Copies of this chain bind each other. A is one copy, B any other.
Amino acid sequence: MAAMDNVATLARAAHAAAGKLSGTPGPVRDEALRAMALALREDAAAIFAANAEDVAAARAESLAAPLLSRLSLDEKKLDGLIEGLLALLALPDPVGRETLRTELAPGLVLSRKTCPIGTIGVVFESRPDALVQISSLCLKSGNACLLKGGREALRTNRALFASLSRAAASAGIPDGWAALLESREDVSAMLSLDRDIDLLIPRGSNEFVRRMQESTRIPVMGHSSGICHLYVDASADVAMAVRIAVDAKTQAPATCNSIETLLVHRGIAANFLPALARAMSEKGVELRADAAALPFLPGAAPATEADWDAEYLAPVLAVKTVSSLDEAVAHVNAHGSHHTDAIVARDEAVASRFLSGVDSADAFWNCSTRFADGFRFGLGAEVGISTGKLHARGPVGLEGLTTYRWLLRGTGQTVAPFAEGTMRFTHRPLPPQGAE
């Protein structure tokens, strides 16, 4: 219960800080981001020392090589984080933008303005860069945050957090706007704090996200895992299809926007699949194919039904032939995770039917699914990718961390005359003010 009390106190403080933070002008928040960038540079030695301890401990526990490389923070990664902070402060303020302005009646003007969500609880993985990216996105968007990182990165996260909070405080950001949680118990404790926490963002497996949704009344934004598809249409440019398939599968196989299943139209299978097999074997990718594809894929294993629902997050690719675009779309909607799905096709009509047919947050044409990323979309990095359909969908950046409120300015209007019909609404749209 210590954790519970502790987290409840941190959440109450964050909620109070959020109230003040929503009123801070954009330049103050940007000044804090600049101070954070400088602080990371000044505290580099301490941060690297802490990270070295984490890495040593992880080695002792013989953590897998890819996880070790994600955990380790070097000069290059720190430079990237500092660049990221400076890029973020260059972006326009997402708070206080007027997105709608309507005259309801003479002297009665309605305005819709963006504002922060409030207090956000984020549970993220072992990559310590995530702490810097998430806390800076929250600050730029005027949100308070409770941050729970991976156990392996605890020392690094403490060093980064100390550096960033000191910098934010020096720039006049209210105390308590960010807090670092350290235990599993802290995460469970957050679930019941729906009076002080407005949104939970768990970055992890579907199971983790679903468990959270089942045990809290707080809205949960699913940074879900992804079963992404690439459909190679009969009209595809074979060389382009191979190049995109290789990138979407191998550029970073452990990421949620990498493809797990490739669908190919029977009309092009004989041309495309042998070229795919050569390219994938060079990259050491294991292929699992249906009966119609196997003959064209030397060395491939037969796929089972389970493969169509598998998220490998590894150099394994399921290959299925289809006899029509509709069959491809139906397969994506039945087996996919509504994350990111792409088509390679020369025929624009076919591509449009695919883009409108798949019920996915991101639908791509003639490019790699790996582009599904907040930085690549130009959103100023991301706190996660939402496969939910409400509020933010797809990569969630600055705008996804804001909501809006309605402001109505009158000159004494009452509803009675409108209800009685002696006055009528004009509903005249006006140009939004101070909008981007």
Contacts and interface: CB of A to CB of B under 8 A. Distances in A.
A361 B117 CA distance: 11
B104 A371 contact: yes
Identical copies in the complex: 2
Question: Most chain-B Cβ atoms within 10 A of its Cβ — which of A213, A243, A411, A412?
Answer: A412
B117 A390 contact: yes
A355 interface: yes
B108 A416 contact: no
A414 B368 contact: yes
B403 A393 contact: yes
B367 A414 contact: yes
Question: Most chain-B Cβ atoms within 10 A of its Cβ — which of A370, A411, A414?
Answer: A414
Given A117-B390, A377-B102, A366 B403 contact: no
A72 interface: no
Interface string A394-429: 110000000111111111111110110000010100
Interface size band for A: 35 or more
A372 B214 CA distance: 32
A151 interface: no
B411 A366 contact: yes
A146 interface: no
Given A104-B371, A246-B414, A394-B405, 19 more contacts: A102-B377, A104-B378, A108-B371, A117-B390, A199-B389, A219-B388, A237-B412, A243-B414, A361-B406, A362-B405, A364-B409, A365-B409, A366-B410, A367-B413, A371-B415, A376-B415, A393-B403, A393-B404, A394-B406
